[in-house]
Structures are given as C-alpha cells and as structure tokens.
Amino acid sequence: MKDLLLITPPFTQLNTPYPATAYLKGFLNTKNISSFQMDLGIEVILEIFSKKGLEKIFQVSSSRFQVDENCQRIYALNQDYIQTIDAVITFLQGKNPTLARQICSGNFLPEASRFEQLDDMEYAFGTMGMQDKAKHLATLYLEDLSDYIVACVDENFGFSRYAERLGRSANSFDELYYQLNQKPTYIDEITLSVLNQKLTDIQPKLVCFSVPFPGNLYSAFRCAQFIKTNFPTIKTAMGGGFPNTELRDLKDKRVFEFFDFITLDDGELPIELLYGTVCQTELVEVLFKRTFLLEHNEVVYKNNSIQHDYKHSEVGTPDYSDLQLDNYISVIEIANPMHSLWSDGRWNKLTMAHGCYWGKCTFCDISLDYIKLYEPIAAKLLVDRMEELIAQTDENGFHFVDEAAPPALMREVALEILRRKITVSWWTNIRFEKSFTADLCQLLKASGCIAVSGGLEVASDRLLELIKKGVTIEQVAQVTRNLIESGIMVHAYLMYGYPTQTIQETVDSLEMVRQLFELGILQSGFWHQFAMTAHSPVGMFPEEFGVIPQQNDITFANNDIQFTDKTGINHDKFSFGLKKSLFNFMHGICFDYELQEWFDFKIPKTKVAPDYIISCLEKEESFNTKPSAKIVWIGAKPMNELFTKSKKGKSWEMVKLMFHSKTETVEISLEKEKGIWFAEMLEKISISGDKIVTFSKIKSDFELHFEDFELFWYSKQINTLRSIGLLTL
C-alpha cells in the first residue's frame, strides 16, 4: 500500500524506462512520501507478445485476417509465431544469447513482409556480429506481428506510441472525447487489466500519469477513465512533456471528467503539494503550483504557492526500483549506429543541467521553463548519482538527456569519472561549438563517452544565423572531426523547410552533408522537416520569419501550428530524396552521385565548392594557449631510463621516458634535467591528483629552471604525448 502511484502510460520505449517517474520517485524519497512506479507500456507489450497473448490475438482476429495477403500469410503461420514468441522475447531481454545462432541460421523465425528488406544484411551487419544481426531479425519478426495487429486487431497500435494522431495538434478535445466514449479496444482491455491488478495491490490515494508524448495521451485518458469508474475515491493527475508543451491554454472542462489535476513544468513541487491536498487531512491551507483543476464547474489555473521550485541539486537521485528492469527488450530497427543506442541496451537516464545553457534557437521552445531555466549541478554530485544508480540497477550505461550538455560541465564530469576509476559508457546531446577541442574530446572518450548527437539543422551559414544556432559550418566540421578522431560516434539532427529557406539552400545543405559523410566526420544523421511550435520565437513572432500561421480556436492542445511560408515553396517534395541520399551516405556509398539523381524533379546545381569541408579542416591550429587553461595528464606513469649521448667528442646525460598506453608504446628522450622536471610535472598534473595546474603555473615553474618554455612545450617530443593523454582543457 502506497500513497502515490506513478505511471508511464503505453507506449514509449521497449529497451529502457522513460525516466520521468524515476526522477519523481527519487524526489519523493527525499520527502518520505511513499510511492510506487510502473511502466504500463512494457507490461502491456509483454502481455501481448507472449504465447498466451498471441493465442488471443489470433483468436480475436480470426475473422479479419483476410484484409491483405501479408496478414493471410501471418495468420497461416500463427502456430509458428506462438511457438517461437517466448524464446524470441527472452533473447531480446538478454537472457538467452545462444538463440542468436538459431535465429541467424534461417528457418527458425516465420517471415512476412518486413523481411523483404533483407537484401543488404551482410552489407549492413557484416561488421556488427551475430548478436546484432539476430536482434535485427527478431525486430523484423516483431514488426511483422505489429503490422498484423494494426491491420486486424487495433489500428492505433505502435511499439512506441498508441493512438498518436489523437494527441497531435488536437486544438479541440472533441475527437479524443468521442474515442474515449467508444468501447475500449483490445489493447485497452489488456492495459486496463494490468492497471486494475496494480491498483488493487498498491491501493494508492493519488495516481500520477507522466505523459511525455502525444502517443501516450489516449492511454492516459483511458486509464484515468477506468479509475474514475472503478476506483472513484482515487484522485488522478497528469503531468509531463505533453501537458507542459501542449496544454498551457487548456479550457475544456470535459478533461476533468478524467483528471482531477493537470500540472505544468517541473513536477516535484506540484506533486508534493497535491500529496498534501489529497493525502494529509490535517492540511490547513490548500496550495497549488502550476496546476489546472475544476472549480465551480470552471477550469481554473492555480499557482498560489509562494514556495520556490526545488533546485536541480535538491531533487535526489532517480530511483528505478519497482520497474521491471530485467524485462525490457532491446531491438535494432534499422542499420543506423546512433538509432541503435535509442532502441538497444538499458540506459540509466540522468540530467547534467536543467534547461539549456544556450537557449536562443528560434525553432525551440525557449520561452518554456524546461528550456529557459538553466541550472547545472556540481560534477561530484552528478557522479555520486551515477554510482548510486550503478549500485541500484547493476547497469553502467548512462544517457544524459539534456537539451544540450554544457561542455564545461562535461569536462568536470569526465575528470571526476577518471579520478574515481569507475567504468561507464555514456552519451548525450550537444551543440557543435568550438569548446569541443581535440583535447576535450579525447578526455570525454577516456571517461566513457561513446556517442553524441547534435543539431547541425540546416547546413547553411545564413540560416544558422537566422536560427541563432551560434555555430558555423566550418565550426561544425572541425568539432565533428575532433569527436570522430577521438573515437566518439557523431549523429547530426538535420532540418529542411525552415522559414525563408530556398531550394538552392536545401540543395547546398545536402551537398554539405554529403561532404561531411564522405570525409568520415559524420557517422549518422536524420532529416526532420521544420515544425512550427507555439512556444518558439518563430511561433510567437511569425511575421518576423516570413510565415503566416493558421489560426485555430484553442480549447485543448496547442503546440504544432500549421503555417504557410511566404516563399511558397513546397518543402514536402524534398523529403524522400533527402532521406534516401542520407541512408546511402551513412553506408559509405553513392558519394559520386550527382545530387539531381536523388530527386525526381529538377533541382539547381549546388553552389558549394567540392572541397569546401576539406578547406574548413585545413585551418592551421593556433599554438596560443590560454594562461588559465588546465593541463591534465590522463596517461600512465612513464618508465625512466638514463643514457649518455655523444656528439663531436662531447657527452651529456639524457633521460628516455617510455609511455605505455592501451594501444601503443611511445618513447621520448629529453636532456636529463628537463626530463626529470617533466616526469615530476606529470605527477603533479596527473588525473589522480586533486590539484588544478594551469598552463601559466607550468610555464612559471619551467622558467625557474630553464629557458625557452614555448620551444620546449610545443616541441615534437612533447606533442607526441598529446595523443596519449597530455591534455590542455
């Protein structure tokens, strides 16, 4: 029995829990408020994709499978699916790795239309190994079953969303309300059965639904409806990414037939106050923080608490207890190395900083608190939380879910990870800004950073300036080169159709992307068509960006805004060609194709020079080091050996320093006194020490004993060590 039940409704991810409820439970622990959390989505998926679940699916669809040839084939093979499903799910949960050989050998999995895309399996998975190839085949098998469910059982089904269209740009509540008054679907019935059991076991007083995306909205309402009907004493609340961005103009009181409260922005304080209102009978005054409710049959927004929101450092460590961590399933949908990180493997989710340190991009919701209020936490506290989560979950993979992780904090976190000698793998989202030097990238890699994703958006300097991205193409090329050369995978978010973007700029942007992939300084990317949102500068001041918004009466959701670009260009027609070309570039082919070959309509020739990106990378590196720069040695202690050098009858003592890295051995020879000084300095700047040594301190120390510091520091001998751990940060 718990006071609060925190629920992520179906569906988000198959491989790892969406972190919102874990964040909230971690906070509630600091207040001694009892709570239980569940990812209703993964529990429903495992009910459906089981032997018993498929038997029922094929029973309820027995009169509908003849809708197309593919469904007929799947139905005809229903016993093969029923016989293999439990083994496949267990394999995807990481509990039966030996099944990979059987899956890859063929004639084990029943195959329908999804397997028709298998022509390039060797080409896509030749270097990925048997486990990944088997995961991909098993994923296609599940997608075949998903196609069958959509066609024959429930058209709204999807692995990472459910009835998403009902939540997208739903300015009116009418369609969703109509759907909720229809008979529950088959998927609904499974969902409500799981929910009913949990409510009976936990007996909460307040159920809080975290709704991150439009694809979770319908299920949240359906579950709340079930609670109102069958557990009328339980109060219901909704928060999360969807209401934070879409329900800020809520007016329709029918929403409160389902929910008692809807909260906006950071959920910690609103939920703490709701707990007081619902669960504490001795409460003197009822206070709310950013909360919609129904009062005197009218929708009211209450924000009458003067208490400040909790700082990022005060909300506690996310708590993943209660969640069925061993039951998540890893899938590989497409042969894209970055996308596999989103869908494959279990990741502990953490945030380095609340909000975005840049906060200027004109397409982004920079007026909302989740972007606007920037607040980083101390590196030591963050790594404390990482160690707590490793102990709690037995997983040492981390996805930092920041809008854009701050480079200075990433540096301090990396240093702290290395000082503590903990082994982790981590990835995050960044801005491709000049702070990501070759040395910083090398440090991040050494600490366990395996990948980053960042917004290149439109690869055009004019549009990047209009977007206020704060980067240039030249800068992006240099940063991605630094990341790739350090061994960190790079994924770029790409955008087309930004207001005032011309056809020429779209073509030139594609050429920039082609060159980045051809040079190997991008490994992964994805094109998104520009979408105008209500809380971005473009949405708030459309006239400044040359767009005409479509005005609708808002009584429910308000985020995506339909608009007309004054240029009159139909950007939709570029979608297929941009995505097809990118798919080929990611696989290292078709760089010699004319850009025209990707489109079935006439496009202008690119105006970008064929060696433009190469020229960006050939800029001379400056040897000017800031006096305040930190100098850090992350390599091993060298082995020393004295020897005598002779030339023209003169002899002098030298010292040979041998450095063993994980992959190579590097030797340098220095005059004895300088060699001894340098070895002692490496001790002082070693990562294991806790003192910060700046470039100016090293220079001053050197000049107490010798002359010509710059000649020594930028010499070939010392430069040799930069690749194995002598870093300027």
Contact, 309 vs 319, CB < 8 A? no
CA torsion sign for 316, 322, 326, 329 is negative
Locate tokens 């082994």: which residue?
A: 423
pLDDT per position as a tens digit, 204-213:
999 999 999 9
Contact, 268 vs 21, CB < 8 A? no
585, containing H or E segment: helix 575-586
* Token pair listed for 524: 């992964």
Give residue 263's Cα distance to chain centre.
24
**pLDDT category of residue 298 using cuts at 50, 70 and 90:** very high
**pLDDT category of residue 124 using cuts at 50, 70 and 90:** low
Q: How far apart are CA 294 and CA 276, in angstroms?
A: 18
Q: Which residues of 353-387 are buried (b: 16+ CB within 10 A; e: fewer)?
A: bbbbbbbebbbbbbebebbeebebbebeebbebbe
Q: What is the pLDDT of residue 578?
A: 96
| Residue positions counted in the chain | 729
If one counts every other C-beta atom within 10 angstroms of the C-beta of residue 344, the result is 22
Share of the chain above pLDDT 90, in %: 83
Q: Name the residue among 479, 216, 453, 483 with its Cα closest to residue 339.
A: 453
Q: Is 507's pLDDT higher than 70?
A: yes
The percent helix, strand, coil of the chain (3-state, each to 5) is 45, 15, 40
Q: How far apart are CA 646 and CA 653, in angstroms?
A: 9
Q: How far apart are CA 621 and CA 618, in angstroms?
A: 9
Return the biggest CA–CA distance within the chain: 103
* Token pair listed for 655: 């010292």
Q: How far apart are CA 60 and CA 48, in angstroms?
A: 12
Quote the Cα angle for 583-589-594, to 5°: 90
Q: What is the pLDDT of residue 122?
A: 56
Q: What mean pLDDT do residues 502-524 have?
A: 96
Locate tokens 């296609």: which residue?
A: 140
Q: What is the pLDDT of residue 336?
A: 65
Q: What is the pLDDT of residue 300?
A: 97
List of domains in the chain: 1-42+179-313+328-333 (3.40.50.280), 347-617 (3.80.30.20), 631-728 (no CATH)
Residue 305 has φ and ψ, to the nearest 5°, of: -85, 135
What DSSP string describes 340-388? HHHHSS--EEE-SEES-SS---TTS-TTSHHHH--EE--HHHHHHHHHH
Q: Which residues of 29-61 are buried (b: 16+ CB within 10 A; e: fewer)?
A: beeebebbbbbbbbbbbbbbbeeebbebbbeeb
Q: What is the pLDDT of residue 61?
A: 84
Q: What mean pLDDT do residues 229-256 have?
A: 96
**pLDDT category of residue 343 using cuts at 50, 70 and 90:** confident
DSSP three-state, residue 457? strand
Contact, 35 vs 25, CB < 8 A? yes
* Cis status, amide bond into 623, omega within 30 of 0: no
Amino acid at 460: S
CA torsion sign for 88, 338, 580, 571 is positive
Q: What mean pLDDT do residues 312-337 have?
A: 89
Q: What is the pLDDT of residue 691?
A: 82
Q: What mean pLDDT do residues 330-356 have?
A: 84
Q: Is 729's pLDDT higher than 80?
A: yes
Q: What is the pLDDT of residue 283?
A: 67
Q: What mean pLDDT do residues 131-159 have?
A: 93
Q: What is the pLDDT of residue 723?
A: 87
Locate tokens 């990870």: which residue?
A: 417
- Please, which residues bridge with residue 547 across strands? 565
Q: How far apart are CA 19 and CA 45, in angstroms?
A: 18
* Token pair listed for 411: 């540096």
Q: What is the pLDDT of residue 164?
A: 82
- Supply the pTM of this predicted model: 0.92
Q: Is 136's pLDDT higher than 60?
A: yes
Q: How far apart are CA 277 and CA 263, in angstroms?
A: 14
Q: What is the pLDDT of residue 339?
A: 73
507, containing H or E segment: helix 503-518
pLDDT per position as a tens digit, 442-492:
999 999 999 999 999 988 999 999 999 999 999 999 999 999 999 999 999
DSSP secondary structure letter of residue 113 = G
Q: What is the pLDDT of residue 620?
A: 66
Q: What is the pLDDT of residue 648?
A: 82
Q: What mean pLDDT do residues 132-144 have?
A: 92
Q: What mean pLDDT do residues 344-368 have?
A: 93
Q: What are the distances in angstroms from CA 443 to CA 248, 416, 631, 711?
A: 42, 11, 12, 25
